Chain A
Amino acid sequence: MPNPRHTPRPTPGRRRAALLAVASTLTLCAVALTGCAASPDPHTLTVLNSATDTAEHAQNQKFFDRCGAEYGLKVRQTSVPATQVVSKALRMASSHSLTDILELDGSDLPAFAATSGLEPLKPLGVDTAGLSRGALSMGSFQGTFYGIARSVNSLALVYNTDLLARARVPVPRTWDELLSAAKRLTSGKTYGMAFSATPDADGVYQFLPFFWSSGGDEAHLNDLKGAAALNLWKTLISDGSASSAAVTWTQQDVNDQFLAGRAAMMVNGPWQVPALDAQTKIHWAVATIPAPTAGGSTQPPIGGTVMTIPRTGHRDRQALAAKVIDCLNTERNQVAWGEAVNNIPTRTAAAAEYRKDNPKLAGFADAVATARSRTALVGAGWPGVQTALAQAFQSVLTGSAAPERALRRAQASVDAASK
């Protein structure tokens, strides 16, 4: 160890090195500061989205390039995982560096629109004619349209045609039929039914078609109409027709179970189609999710991302962004995009064409036609309702609360949080 009392005297060489270090630090700081102040490139539009998947990112870029080229623009995407888009966008907002186009999950739109940080799209010239009711409602907040979805998804019942044929079970149309079909299809290591009931946005998305179809109201959980849906899920598990692991299975896990032949039917969305198509062992078909009673109807949720234009203060860039968005949403581009990502176009005419081209996915297309937006009733309050609903079905499925009690508690927690 060197003697701690000995302090070396600075030699001229050392002093020069120190000066050099200080100078270079200062230059570095100056460079960093000017970097922040640099004005955005007028020929490049920026986009923040969740296309982290390589194929999806490339597919997106193709459409951006096609539409950007019409206006002599380049488009640069920044992609972060879906769960991080909101926090990333909020950070960008606080540093005034938001992108020209912000692609949000539809259920996050109200929380953003409520900040007055988004531009209404119609005054900027985005054409909304012919959009489906669900798509209009998903992109709106308090009557103003802020976000347009190129394509949307919903949920349907995907079933294993071989297993149903072998057990001579017809495709269930009502909840009673679903319960008995699931029971008859359960044998050995194969469950009759599979669904995802994780305590997050995806689990709630899966619960909604049952909750809404039974008359459930997300603004008044304690009217107890949703209890029937909780009972249905609970019965599927207590009958042994569905695994109690549903509370931990993601939608991806559910699809894996189905593909391994361990589930005869599942609730899932069109984004699973590539995985379903990539194999030949399991033969599958798509049907509408069963309704509570014969002649009743099913109310599935609508999901997907919407493109918004943040209030950045650059009027000319916003106008260009609106033009690019408009181009992405022409009937032709919507059909092409929908087919690329297995989602359903939002323009009614485009959806019809898509349905004609993809008869196998008609079940999904039909679901989207009547699908309802999660935020239509509760708007920016949706995140709280979502957490409460997840708590409700998790406590019912694990046997820690009866459906009625779970729903009353859910409404109480929503009320407490919004106080």
Chain B
Amino acid sequence: MTDNKLKSRLAFNNISHSYGELPVLQNLSFTVNPGEFVALVGPSGCGKTTLLNILSGYLKPTSGTLEHQGVIRTVYQSDGLFPWLTVSENISMGLRPVTNTEEHGKQLRELFELIHLQGFENHYPHELSGGMRQRVEIARALAGDSDILLMDEPFSALDYQTRLRMRWELVRLLAQRKRTVVFVTHDIEEAAQLADRVFVLSKRPAVISREFVINSAKPRNLTDPAVIAAMKAILSQLGLQAWDGDTRTIFDDNISPDTKPGKGEMS
């Protein structure tokens, strides 16, 4: 069931968006390859959520076109589960196209095993911890016929250690169920540890100011040299790195976006 997931395709063609007079995204173009994990990082308020809303089809861009193939599902920061449904009923939402009861039950069991939450089938979301809830959300999004996962800061409501654990968890789940992932985060560490490619967005109106490719194999340790190198590069791109010989410092808040996205490669 993993192979057919790789037909998915997601491309932004010259997309711009503004809210009234306020331009948020400016001429964004990029393609996400099938099975690829792309992270979008950028300063807060730069339009990351707008970008995801366009990707999910929730928002129509002011100009430009979105090309996509495959079923897209979003994993939210928190509260994306329906609180009136049990864990099992929530995950079953993802299995709605599976009408055969036996097959449905089988896939549901597999998903519970996958997220190690056997025994919590009949619990309600408010009875679970934050980390468990996010695991359920991911299972729901992975269920059935989904191809592309959009993740909107899925771990940012969790405490630091749970967040670290959830990264391992996500890598493990994706190794078993390959998906194309677009992951929006403000957490540079998270992007460096998880992504195949990182797009750094500029301040509003957002353009892609830099693109980094991280080739190191996953799962990656936080202390993996490739992760550290990527973090350094992203931090300095965001102007948050004071000691890398770059003239920009953490006090310099005024970085002009490079209109020509550069490309850095680390391995």
Chains A and B form a bound pair: no
Interface residues of A (CB under 8 A from B): none
